[in-house]
Amino acid sequence: MSEDNLEITSEEDDLFEHYRIVADKGQGLIRLDKYLSLHVANASRTKIQNGIEAEAVKVNGQPTKASYKVKPLDVITLSLPQPPRDNEIIPENLTLDIIYEDDVLLIVNKPTGMVVHPAFGNWTGTLINGLVYHFQQLPTGRNGEGRPGLVHRIDKDTSGLLVIAKTEFAMTFLAKQFSDHSIERTYYALIWGEPKQEQGTITGNIGRSAKDRRVMDIFEDGSQGKHAVTHYKVVKPLRYVSLIQCNLETGRTHQIRAHMQHIGHPIFNDTVYGGDKILRGTSSGSYKSMVENCFTLLPGQALHAKSLGFIHPSTRQWIQFDTDLPPNFTAILEKWENYVNYQ
């Protein structure tokens, strides 16, 4: 048997284990669920069966049933939530903006400044700490490292919608949609400048910078990183800045932030990608004061995960959620609109 496991392909994918298994030439006939429970570490037969039902397991590129008999040289691929470890997550009674909840999932509107999951330097006050308090039985994400029910993420200083799975099956079912790029995600961003085209597509591999591991670089030649595609359109041009809508085909780390910086339009007040200084207009007078006031009003990059659509794990119907821009985002937009209109 040969295996190429844990091949990380997106920001969301590192919440899951990815396997590619080729059955031996002499493999005898055996049920698929039993075969995988023997060959995948820390995966129970129930967990395997959930993955098969969610079509997160494929044999020779096709979803199949748990009763399928594995044959010699069958190629089996699967994506399953990472197994738990005994790391403690501290439940905290945090204020959470839960805009929808049912038996298998919930949708939360995360504020700017809230870290999604506990990690070094942020063991408390995270979204996951609040969710554990809200619902003690959420399934555990990667290795129990503070990510129960977490299917995808957004950055600390990005606001907006996240879907949280409440059962292991829902977690696997939703993860497959992210992997297939069938989840519909719309972001709003305020960027520096006005793009030459009112709408366009940015394509460029994204990978970590060799100079600074906090930063993602773009590799247009495809020599490094992972394939990434961002579609954008201008919603409101404001001479010095523009409100844009972005739709993602892929979910790479810092994708919108890195792509917009790459085309010369960093997100407003993005401290990592150079948007936290005046990049258009004068650097003095009332204009400078207005911009600095906007920086103060919005303590992070002007990026909001506005809408989220996907197929529900239980009903198998398409559901869509939308949220307004946060008040501080709206406030700086109004300041820019007033400045452009009355100067």
Which amino acid is present at 211? K
- Please, where are the H alpha helices in the chain? 32-39, 45-53, 127-134, 168-179, 255-262, 285-297, 327-342
Query: What is the largest distance, in Å, between two alpha-carbon atoms of the chain?
Result: 79
Q: Is 15 helix (H, G, I), strand (E, B) or coil?
A: helix
Check 155, 157, 217, 270 and give the catalytic one. 155
Q: What is the pairing mode between strands 75-81 and 57-59? A: antiparallel
**Contact 241/193 with Cβ under 8 angstroms?**
yes
18 φ, ψ (degrees, to nearest 5): -120, 125
**Contact 230/201 with Cβ under 8 angstroms?**
yes
Q: Specify the residue for token string 């395997």.
A: 48
Distance CA 36, CA 333 (A): 53
Q: Judge whether 155 counts as a catalytic residue.
A: yes
Smallest CA-to-CA distance from 79 within 226, 178, 206 is with 178
Distance CA 138, CA 16 (A): 16
- From the number of C-beta atoms within 10 Å of its C-beta (0-12, 13-18, 19+), residue 95 rates as exposed
Q: Which two tokens stand for residue 104?
A: 């298998």
216 φ, ψ (degrees, to nearest 5): -100, 130
* Catalytic residue numbers, as ranges: 155
